[in-house]
């Protein structure tokens, strides 16, 4: 891991810098600052989520948001990666890998049986870090 990049849990002060990163990830919805702030505040207060950030030179360069919840099929807790984003200029430098490794460790510490996610654009990345394809993703939008 590069020593000049710091990884940790998001704090209140990260909100303003995290907003443009979240906008950069979104393709299905238009992220607006008011709703983003509401969601951000609920995530950092929710004991069933982990919102982790990567920071270089006191600037955020990536984040991962993981939701942990019980599931019958797994006989316990599962962890679901809702969002992972790394600023373009830092892709290919293991920032995403290290964010995912930290997410995996926190998930294991919670007793999660598995960690999973849905993606359309990053299958090669996830396969490279040990993930395998499992299911087809369906959605129905309400907005």
Structure confidence by residue, pLDDT tens digits, 98-141: 999 999 999 999 999 999 999 888 888 999 999 999 888 888 88
* Structure-token pair, residue 101: 């490794």
* pLDDT tens profile 61-112: 999 999 999 999 999 999 999 999 999 999 999 999 999 999 999 999 999 9
Measured CA distances, 101 to 95, 97, 108, 134 (Å): 10, 6, 11, 20
Residue 3: per-residue pLDDT: 65
Measured CA distances, 7 to 2, 13, 51, 134 (Å): 10, 15, 11, 29
C-alpha closest to that of 135 among 115, 118, 112: 118
Percent of the chain predicted with pLDDT > 90:
83
């Amino acid at each position: 891991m590069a020593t000049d990049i710091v990884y940790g849990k998001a704090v209140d002060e990260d909100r303003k810098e995290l907003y443009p990163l979240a906008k950069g990830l979104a393709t299905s919805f238009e992220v607006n600052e008011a709703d983003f702030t509401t969601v951000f505040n609920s995530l950092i207060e929710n004991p069933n989520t982990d919102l982790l950030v990567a920071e270089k030179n006191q600037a955020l360069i990536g984040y991962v948001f993981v939701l942990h919840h019980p599931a019958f099929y797994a006989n316990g807790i599962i962890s679901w990666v809702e969002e992972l984003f790394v600023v373009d200029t830092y892709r290919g430098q293991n920032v995403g890998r290290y964010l995912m490794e930290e997410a995996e460790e926190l998930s294991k510490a919670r007793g999660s049986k598995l960690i999973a996610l849905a993606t359309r654009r990053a299958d090669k990345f996830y396969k490279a870090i040990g993930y395998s394809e499992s299911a087809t993703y369906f959605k129905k939008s309400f907005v």
